[in-house]
Structure 1
């Protein structure tokens, strides 16, 4: 009787241990998904702001069509990108195009002095800061999740339960360029 009780306790312990590991991994996976959604929200705000910025610049710099088209094209590519790696690459291109747009504004004093343009620049700088914070939170959640599924004893069951490594939101080689907040000069 006592041997079967010990076996039953060991089996129950293993079941609770498995449930605990599974629930912990699910919680970490949900945190990663939520963090990615937060990045996505910030990127959408950025994407929504860009057409207003382009329209404002158009009024002052109509013959700078190539720069304006590059910003619109980069925005559309960023909207269409799927997954952290593709979004990171597309956002890098978009940030470069926006830098060109702000450099263009330096050549047009009336545009630089325009209140609407100044407000859009300020909003964009604020959104860039929020995007950076959301990316850091996402990458931290991914790091915790990846560590969780690769740590013992979870590594024994994580793969068979459908838990796989997630990608970081990496900006690649152009990280130093993108991490610079757009300059707002008056």
Structure 2
């Protein structure tokens, strides 16, 4: 979102004294247009300069603004806001950079709070807690740790897995009774292909 800065004395500017309310409104709309579209040089096309407000006669408004030295008429049906170049109305580069930085920080924080750490900085503590050295063998069970004890499932409640010594099918890994076969009796393409390979 862009914004426009106006000093407290803006309405009392000497240049605005002889302008009608409608001309002043059109002038403010031109300033806002440059702010919204990031036209830091204040230059805009004639069509844009004429349609920025609901002024009944925008061409006369532009002529009046030019006569008040608030607007310069440029070649090729272009207009330039004179005072916008000196950062009178647009935020400075430092302010824009700070605003963008704040926006990025808020975006990171919202993602982080939802558990998405893809936007977090590399040196943030959350990266250290999820990065693991797989080669050490000392990384624990691999279950997520939580500071909330109600969410942690004790290991005593984990299901016990019994490992069978019976042979298993090389395709579907189901236990088999016949130890002389490598593929179970299931009739499908994968099993039939495995039987063909073992027969050859």
Question: Structure 1 length normalisation: TM-score?
Answer: 0.28
| Higher CA-based Rg | 2
Larger RCO, structure (CA 8 Å, separation 6 or more): 1
Question: Structure 2 length normalisation: TM-score?
Answer: 0.27
